[in-house]
Structure 1
Amino acid sequence: MTFLAYIKDITKLPISKNGLRSARVWRRFMSTIYRDCDFHNVMLYGQYIMVMIDGRMAGGGLIASYDEKEVLVGSKIFSRSQYTFVVSPPPQCYVEFI
């Protein structure tokens, strides 16, 4: 699923009482990773990682390496305790639908 397809899908969902889109969108297209086995699988399959802090994107790319305290995403090092790592579609992906 591309990022544009994700955006098209999210706009079709009903808005809840508090004005936000459904939480199942987050679970369907993006998943947060915590465990070492998840980091290893992301590296193995070459999935795009979005790095977030306080609800904002701090970086993104492919995971080059990780240990108990830090993760190297692209050429930047991020702390596992301060940042959130989310498997998501790459922002530069585009597939035109017929």
Structure 2
Amino acid sequence: MSDIRKAHDNYTTQTILKRIQEESDRTGESYETIKQSTDRIKSSLNTQNDISETLNSSKRQLFFMKITANAEDLFFKSGLLFYVLVILYIIVSRTIVSWFFSY
């Protein structure tokens, strides 16, 4: 994790803890109860972020797999077309040469 990200997380955590303390003072609820609830929410958000990152990487991998499969299919078809054209060229050229020499 980069230093900027760590500093941002640290600042965010301190801000959250400060707000928890303010909320605790205002509502009279236990500081620990609010902190535990906030920690659960934060871990849930981290889990959601991890799932999103995993899905994005899976989408990228699937995209590249599709491109690779399409490239292989295109390569096969172009090779097949090349061989068909070569065979047609041989047939046509032999026919023209035989016509030329038949007269």
Q: TM-score range by the shorter chain?
A: under 0.3
Task: Name the one with the larger strand percent.
Answer: 1
Task: Name the one with the larger helix percent.
Answer: 2
Query: Which of these two proteins has the greater Rg computed from alpha carbons?
Result: 2
Q: Which has the higher contact order (CA 8 A, sep 6+)?
A: 1
Compute the TM-score of the two structures, normalised by the length of structure 1: 0.25
